[in-house]
Amino acid sequence: MFRKKHVAPKATYRETFKKGDGATKLSFFLMGSNAFANKQWVKGIVFLLSEIIFFVWFFMSGIPALKLLSNLGPDKTKRVVYDASQGVYVTKQPSNSVLILLFGILAIFMCIAFIWIYYLNLRSTRNNYIAKRDGDHIATNMEELKSLFDSRLHSTLMTIPLLGILFFTVLPTVFMISMAFTNYDRQHPIAFSWTGFQAFGNVLSGDLAGTFFPVLGWTLIWAVAATATTFFFGVLLAMLIESKGIKHKGFWRTVFVIVWAVPQFVSLLMMAQFLDYQGALNNILMNLHLISSPIHFIDNQASPLVARITVIIVNMWIGIPVSMLVSTAIIQNLPQDQIEAARIDGANAAQIFRSITFPQILFVMAPSLIQQFIGNINNFNVIFLLTGGAPMNSKYNGAGSTDLLVTWLYNLTFGQEQRYNASAVLGILIFVISAVVSLLAYRRTNAFKEG
């Protein structure tokens, strides 16, 4: 069966409204009336219902929500009053700006959603109008429902995931972005107000700037080093295991994969103790007489450089198994002819690796490397669980020498100072950095092609 694709002559909405029948005209005000007139009652009910619900909601709570959003609540200060009848003090709470902000954003979402439904309603009306005008078949209820499993399958399958994304990713992200433009902090924990770009000023040139730029620098160095080391040594390890003559390849791979499999909050928390000044590793090294006095790896006495190198090495311990696995698969699928040709020409193993194998792996892995890079910028676990930012740095504000932007963000929110707005600003800046880096990288590699 072939679906006929005939292109209907277009009609403007103006024409639809002017020349349409009563129900069509009514559709511009009472959504779904055209659908009812054409016996598409399912669609009609959905349209009508959403209009009713929307307007009931809009007048009951939509308007107040939007009004409150403009100043995040009128009541900015709390009042403690004595309740003589009970003999206790009670606190009259100020406006809860977090909820006001959240519901304000929700209200905007609702309005956009309604406008979109209204647009769909108009489009449906117009299509029915065109079909009627040209004497074409108007889809029946059953046909419409059936199309959900055929030509409109994407909508059926995407609805629930989209709702999930909307509620649990988009809404929180918009909320976070809005927070950056308020004074939501320790001094304004319940009621806060819009303050424009003030929080951005604090981070970029105010009291946090002295921390932001050095931490940003280390974050970028870390992301490059962590991605490069795990990738490069992962490839080498994979080639070692895959090299001729090594038996029980599966066993060797599994040994390394175990490290990857242990949950990070276990392996990293324990690793922190393992590397402590009085920890097991220093003990082992002392007993083997490899060192004469213990080394400060990641504690507060460590030099920032040693701590940063240690963190990168521990990250290799965790990250190399993954990239080893991935490169193994690529190596197994590499075309052998080029390598054979090179070997016949007398190239040695190192040359083959440098000019054939490695570039090929790099080419295949480029997109996932970029993703790993972004992942490393946001690599919370390794720093938070391993060093907690240590060693401390008296030049920084609320961060240590190994803190990344993302762990600093966490400290600002859940640590001593509770500067929610500043951490929202950091979140936005991290996004900007990630976006710029990946845009440049994707352009460069040109590997990100739309299938």
Partner 1 sequence: MKIWKKLALASTLVLVGLSAAACSNNSSSNGGNSGSSKLTLWVDTEQVPYYKNIVKDFTKTHKNISVRVVQSPNGSANAKTDVGKDPSKAADVFEVPNDQLGQMAEAGYINPLSPQDTKKIKSDYIDVASKGVAWKGKIYAYPYAQQAQTLYYNKSKLSENDVKDWTTLTSKGVVGTDFTNAYVMWPVFFSAGTQLYGKSGEDLHGSNFASEKGVNALKWFAEQKHNKGVMQTSNALNQLKKGNASAILDGPWNAANIKKILGDNFAVAKYPTINVGGKNVQMEAFLGIEGFAVNSHTSNAKAASQLASFITNKKAQLIVHKEAGQIPVLKSAVNSQAVKSDPVAEAVIEMAKPGNSVLQPKLPQMAAFWNGAAPLISGTYDGKIKPADYMAQLKKLQKSIEKK
Partner 2 sequence: MKSYSAQRRLSLIGRYILLTILAILWILPIVWIILASFSYNDTGFVSTFWPDKFTLQNYIGIFTNPQYPFGNWIINTLAISLASMVISTFLTISVAYVLSRLRFAFRKPFLQIALVLGMFPGFMAMIALYYILKGLNMLNLFGLLLVYVGGAGLGFYVAKGFFDTIPRAIDEAAEIDGATNWQVFLHIGLPLSKPMIVYTALTAFIAPWTDFIFSGIILSTSGNAKDYTIAYGLYNMVHTAKGNATAYFAQFVAGCVIIAIPITILFVFMQKFYVNGITAGADKG
Q: Which is nearer to partner 2, 197 or 363 (CB)?
A: 363
Residues 6 or more apart whose CB falls under 8 angstroms from that of 367 comprise: 442, 445, 447, 448
Residues 6 or more apart whose CB falls under 8 angstroms from that of 80 comprise: 89, 90, 91, 92
Nearest approach in angstroms of CB 33 to partner 2 is 26
Q: Which of 201, 206, 294, 398 binds partner 1 (CB under 8 A)?
A: 398
Q: Which is nearer to partner 2, 31 or 314 (CB)?
A: 314
Q: Which is nearer to partner 1, 242 or 417 (CB)?
A: 417
Q: What are the tokens at 435? A: 């976006």
Q: What are the tokens at 87? A: 């003999």
Write out the binding residues for partner 1, residues 233-292 only, by CB under 8 A.
276-278
Q: What are the tokens at 72? A: 């995040």
Nearest approach in angstroms of CB 344 to partner 2 is 17
Write out the binding residues for partner 1, residues 292-321 only, by CB under 8 A.
299-301, 303
Q: Which is nearer to partner 1, 127 or 438 (CB)?
A: 127
Q: Of partner 2, partner 1, none, which one does residue 329 interact with (CB within 5 to 8 Å by kind)?
A: partner 2
Q: Of partner 2, partner 1, none, which one does residue 393 interact with (CB within 5 to 8 Å by kind)?
A: partner 1
Stretch that binds partner 1, among 6-14, 287-295, 352-360, 390-398 (CB under 8 A): 390-398
Q: Which is nearer to partner 2, 70 or 151 (CB)?
A: 151
Q: Which is nearer to partner 1, 96 or 368 (CB)?
A: 96
Radius of gyration of the chain (CA): 31
Residues 6 or more apart whose CB falls under 8 angstroms from that of 67 comprise: none
Question: Which of 163, 178, 210 is closest to 69 using CA atoms?
Answer: 178
Backbone angles phi, psi at 100, to 5 degrees: -60, -45
Collapsing DSSP states into helix, strand and coil, what is residue 207? Answer: coil
Q: Which is nearer to partner 2, 8 or 280 (CB)?
A: 280
Strand partners for 90: 81
DSSP label at residue 92 = E
Q: What are the tokens at 26? A: 């009514």
Cβ burial of 87 (10 Å; 0-12, 13-18, 19+) is: exposed
Write out the binding residues for partner 1, residues 108-137 only, by CB under 8 A.
109-110, 113-114, 116-117, 120-121, 123-124, 127
What is 54-84 written as a DSSP string?
A: HHHHIIIIIHHHHHHHTTT-S--S-EEEEET
Write out the binding residues for partner 1, residues 9-28 only, by CB under 8 A.
none
Nearest approach in angstroms of CB 153 to partner 1 is 9
Stretch that binds partner 1, among 185-193, 194-202, 231-239, 362-370 (CB under 8 A): 185-193
> Is 397 an interacting residue with respect to partner 1 (CB under 8 A)?
yes
Q: Which of 70, 71, 140, 156 binds partner 1 (CB under 8 A)?
A: 156
Collapsing DSSP states into helix, strand and coil, what is residue 192? Answer: coil
Nearest approach in angstroms of CB 366 to partner 2 is 6
Q: Of partner 2, partner 1, none, which one does residue 168 interact with (CB within 5 to 8 Å by kind)?
A: partner 2
Run of H or E including 25: helix 22-27
Cβ burial of 265 (10 Å; 0-12, 13-18, 19+) is: exposed
> Is 152 an interacting residue with respect to partner 1 (CB under 8 A)?
yes
Q: Which of 11, 30, 66, 190 binds partner 1 (CB under 8 A)?
A: 190
Nearest approach in angstroms of CB 328 to partner 2 is 7
Nearest approach in angstroms of CB 134 to partner 1 is 17
Q: Which is nearer to partner 1, 202 or 379 (CB)?
A: 202
Q: Which is nearer to partner 1, 155 or 371 (CB)?
A: 155
Nearest approach in angstroms of CB 172 to partner 2 is 3
Cβ burial of 432 (10 Å; 0-12, 13-18, 19+) is: exposed
DSSP label at residue 90 = E
Write out the binding residues for partner 1, residues 432-451 only, by CB under 8 A.
none
Strand partners for 194: 182
> Is 354 an interacting residue with respect to partner 1 (CB under 8 A)?
no
> Is 89 an interacting residue with respect to partner 1 (CB under 8 A)?
yes
* Cβ 195 vs Cβ 81: under 8 Å: no
What is 219-266 written as a DSSP string?
A: HHHHHHHHHHHHHHHHHHHHHHHHSTT---HHHHHHHHHHHHHS-HHH
Q: Which is nearer to partner 1, 214 or 415 (CB)?
A: 415
Nearest approach in angstroms of CB 155 to partner 1 is 4
